[in-house]
Amino acid sequence: MRTTMSFTWTSALNVTLLLLLVAAIVVACLTLPVDKILKDLLEWIDRNLGPWGPLALIAAYIPLTVLAVPASVLTLGGGYLYGLPIGFIADSIGATVGAVASFLLGRTIGKSLVVSRLKDYPQFRLVTIAIQRSGFKISILLRLAPFVPFNILNYLLSVTPVPLGEYTLASWLGMMPITLALVYVGTTFKDLSDVTRGWGEFSKTHLVRNAIFYSY
Q: What is the pLDDT of residue 153?
A: 84
Contact 177, 144 (CB under 8 A): yes
Residue 96 has pLDDT above 80, yes or no: yes
The per-residue pLDDT of the chain, averaged, comes to: 77
Contact 95, 179 (CB under 8 A): yes
Q: What is the pLDDT of residue 4?
A: 46
Q: What is the pLDDT of residue 19?
A: 54
Residue 24 has pLDDT above 50, yes or no: yes
Question: How many separate domains does the chain show?
Answer: 1
Q: What is the pLDDT of residue 205?
A: 47
* Domain carrying residue 206: 2-215
Q: What is the pLDDT of residue 6?
A: 45
Q: Which of 6-10, 83-87, 114-118, 130-134 has the lowest mean pLDDT?
A: 6-10
Residue 109 has pLDDT above 80, yes or no: no
Q: Can you tell me the distance from the alpha carbon of 58 to that of 91, in angstroms, rounded to the nearest whole number?
A: 6
Number of Cα atoms under 13 Å in the Cβ half of residue 40: 5
**String of DSSP letters for 117-140:** HGGG-HHHHHHHHHHHHHHHHHHH
Q: Which of 200, 206, 195, 207 is nearest to 81 (CA)?
A: 195
Q: Can you tell me the distance from the alpha carbon of 118 to that of 126, in angstroms, rounded to the nearest whole number?
A: 11
**If you average pLDDT over residues 95-124, what whole number do you get?**
79
Q: Can you tell me the distance from the alpha carbon of 27 to that of 148, in angstroms, rounded to the nearest whole number?
A: 23
